[in-house]
Chain A
Amino acid sequence: MKERLGEDVIAMRAAKELKSGDCCNLGLGLPQLLAMYVPDGVRFQAENGALGYGPLVTEDNWQEADYGKVDAGGRFFTTAPGMSYFDFLTSFAMIRSGRIYSVLGGLQVSEKGDLANHSMGGEDIYLMIGGAMDLAWGAKKVIVTMTHTTKDGKPKIVRKLTLPATARNSVDMVITDLAVMEITDKGVVLKETAPGWSAEEIQALTEPKLALAPDLKEMEL
């Protein structure tokens, strides 16, 4: 089996999409790893009502963990100059306003940019819609980070979703353990490949036909 990129490397690559001054919301799971890799000056937004908070509390400063300083994923943050607290209505107006970059996890992305990320469908009663529908609809740019295939090797980039949709026509970019792709009017464009992987090999694990970007290149970190 050829080696695929680890979660941290996916997060590192996704972090390159953000620059100082951008405000960004990180979804649960893989997207949260971006926090370690974004450039200085990127502000994080937490749905529960905080913007621009400082680094997360770690083993080194665990005494600073405070029950009133918790992000959307339940992790403790430190305060930082310029940060703000606000209520939930303000938070979701912000999320729907097109001012926030959104990095979400994904179960499936369709060639039209439909996203499935909140439910396995069928008997799944553990529905976590959370802020994902609002983020996917209203963000300035929606970046999905996920593995390219399911655990049993099925493509997660599909022609049509088979899982319940979280949002339609909303994903701008998909970064996986094999590739960087953009969702455009003309379908899925392959922009970058993981080291050692050819476009043909990636195509074989992707349901829709990939268009090759004129500047297709190997992923750089």
Chain B
Amino acid sequence: MKDYGKVYASADEALAGIPDGVVMAAHTWGFCGTPHHLFAAIMRSNIKDITLLCPNFMPFGALEKFLPGPTSLLPKLKKVITPGIGGSRAMGTDDKGFLDDYVKSGQLETEVIPHGIWIERLHAAAMGLGGFYNPVGVGTDVETGKEKRVIDGREYFLEKPIRPDVGIIKALKADRFGNLVYYGASRGSYPIIAQASRLTIVEVDELVEEGEIDPEAIVTPGIYVDRIVKIQEADVGSAKQKKELMQLIMGDAILRKVLLGVSDKGDQK
């Protein structure tokens, strides 16, 4: 059994040495792929003035106290770079004021960009590019202040890469080298975050020995993974906790309706 020094005993230890002002990336999609376990540790830590890159910055409603989402980190954030902020209307909940204290007061800087640009900026960082000419958003506010260029008759504007200092990742399974397998639709932007980040920390439900994962099934090669934390069954964000929480909510007829009907009556009415 080889030891690469990547496996950490706890999420708190895995966050060691992360400075204030860090640029962090994580995939956040409600239940699906959000690194609840590491988020809980970040909330406990002394790290502050974080710039967070995440695919949406939405409140997780009543579930927040069991499973911290990106908005749980608000007191620690300096800036958020995301395609969607708020989400209260889209989620059909009436907590529209939740960001007012932070956004309207200017305490939280926000940069809202389309999903495709968001992920390509991370990808460009992974590839070591200096930038890329992007066509989506031409003629909208997203192009404001950016260098424009016509290439072969089509309009583009320049987008620059963003390299996160730390990628905070949620995967189903890792071996000791850090080869990763994800679970369902929670894969999200993680394969790209792992490639783009200077330091990648992953929380996993299962930790196995090398050779136990079929090489054909590995999505993120372990070369991109620096620190691994196995979530214990009783911990925040464990598969067991999430399953139990879902059974609890779904077992309640009223809550079930909310969860199953989420976004049914959405944004664009």
Contact = CB atoms under 8 A, between A and B. Distances in A.
A133 B90 contact: no
A63 B155 CA distance: 49
Main secondary structure on chain B at its contact with chain A? loop
Contact of A131 (B31, B88, B115): B115
Given A48-B29, A128-B85, A67 B246 contact: yes
Contacts of A88: 27, 55, 115, 119, 188-189, 192
Given A59-B260, A71-B185, A130-B56, A107 B268 contact: yes
A53 B240 CA distance: 24
A132 B142 CA distance: 13
B30 interface: yes
Max chain B C-beta neighbours (<10 A), residue from A56, A89, A132, A164 = A89
A70 B84 contact: no
User: 8 smallest A-B Cβ distances: which pairs?
Assistant: A105-B268, A29-B266, A126-B86, A68-B184, A134-B116, A70-B32, A168-B139, A133-B114
Contacts of B44: none
A114 B137 CA distance: 11
B188 A87 contact: yes
Contacts of A107: 268
B104 A32 contact: no
B113 A87 contact: no
B65 interface: no
Main secondary structure on chain A at its contact with chain B? loop
Interface in A32-87: 32-33, 46-50, 56-59, 62-63, 65-71, 73-76, 85-87
Interface string B83-119: 1111111110000100100011000001011111001
A187 to B, nearest CB: 19
A62 B135 contact: no
Nearest to A67: B31
A221 interface: no
Contact of A70 (B56, B137, B185): B185
Interface residues of A, number: 62
Contact of A87 (B96, B137, B189): B189
Given A125-B99, A126-B89, A137 B84 contact: no
Contacts of B89: 126, 128
Contacts, number: 202
Interface string A84-127: 01111100100110000000111100000010010000000111
Max chain B C-beta neighbours (<10 A), residue from A75, A76, A127 = A127
A105 B112 CA distance: 19
A184 to B, nearest CB: 19
Interface of B: 27, 29-33, 55-56, 83-91, 96, 99, 103-104, 110, 112-116, 119-120, 123, 135-142, 182-192, 219, 242-243, 246, 250, 256-257, 259-260, 262-269
A127 B267 contact: no
Contacts of B188: 48-49, 87-88
A96 B116 contact: yes
A146 B139 contact: no
A92 B187 contact: no
B87 A126 contact: yes
Given A68-B183, A70-B31, A132 B114 contact: yes
B136 A134 contact: yes
B161 to A, nearest CB: 13
A138 interface: yes
A169 B141 CA distance: 15
A5 interface: no
Contacts of B269: 29-30, 105, 147
A127 B142 CA distance: 12
Max chain B C-beta neighbours (<10 A), residue from A68, A117, A147 = A68
Contacts of B30: 70, 74
Nearest to B139: A168
A138 B137 CA distance: 11
A166 B140 contact: yes
Contacts of B191: 87, 89
Contact of A75 (B87, B88, B104, B262): B262
B260 A85 contact: no
A92 B142 CA distance: 17
Nearest to B100: A125
